[in-house]
Amino acid sequence: MTDLSGSVVKDVEGKDVKCGGGWNSPDNHKQFIMALGCLVKARGQNSPYEEPCKYCVKIYEELGEKTGCDHHRDGMLFRRGDPTKHQDVINEMKKVDKSCATYKSNGDCPITPWDLMKIRSVLMSTGSLQDLQMYVMILIGIRLFLRSAELVDLKISMVDGSKKNLLNWKTSVFTPEGELTGLTFDIMGKKDPKPVSLVLWRDEVVPEFCPLRHLLAYIFIWRKLKVVICFHQQEHMG
């Protein structure tokens, strides 16, 4: 992705922002136009859109005065008005609608507790470490609202000095008896300038959905391997 000057746009981690072309719904540009229209109105720019007057600009550049030309007594040196109502924008939106005419939205729905129980029954019945890992990842992703990139990068120990997506024992929650009730991960979100602490709480109501119990069981199995990355690809699981 590039900005208006042609420079590559970077995220908070300094990485290039890439567009995959997945957002092709014609409703997206309508949302953008509505948001831009609200911003313009909030600034009191409700008049028809106009570019800077070249004669006013010339007078300012040559004489340093903002008096403006015969048509603009106060000088018109900057754009003003509502660009969403400009004919060029309207024509461009029509082109977008035409190019996306064949777009079909794919429906989506949240996973239900009953669906999750069915998934658990399948994954926990195989005796496979890979399937246990999958179920643990599902539980943690649901409870902490993690993106896939954050989930697969969770670490038990620091790697190369990075504290991103790292298990933090110091801020985890224990009972007076020393029993763990909340496990803290310092997560670096997509737009976070620094890691944010998220607590993975123990679920006493539905133990089958308790991410803490399942994660600790998973870590216990891996402890002899001295791993630092929580979740591994299949080829590394033996």
Q: Give all strands of the β-sheet with 166-174 in edge-to-edge order.
A: 166-174, 180-187, 196-201
How far lies 135's CA from each of 105, 121, 125, 219, in Å? 29, 10, 11, 13
135 and 209 co-located in one domain: yes
CA distance 168 to 112: 30
Per cent of the chain over pLDDT 70 is 87
86-133 pLDDT tens trace: 888 889 888 888 888 787 776 666 789 999 999 999 999 998 888 999
Is 149 inside any structural domain? yes
Give how many domains the chain has, as a whole number: 2
Given a cut of 80, whether residue 161 has pLDDT beyond it is no
How far lies 223's CA from each of 77, 86, 131, 156, 219, in Å? 67, 63, 18, 10, 6
Is 22 inside any structural domain? no
Burial of 133 from C-beta contacts in 10 A (0-12 / 13-18 / 19+): buried
How far lies 32's CA from each of 23, 27, 89, 103, 198, in Å? 13, 9, 12, 18, 32
Is 104 inside any structural domain? no
220 and 123 co-located in one domain: yes
128 and 222 co-located in one domain: yes
CA distance 66 to 63: 9
Q: pTM here?
A: 0.55
Domain extent, residue 65, equals 27-99
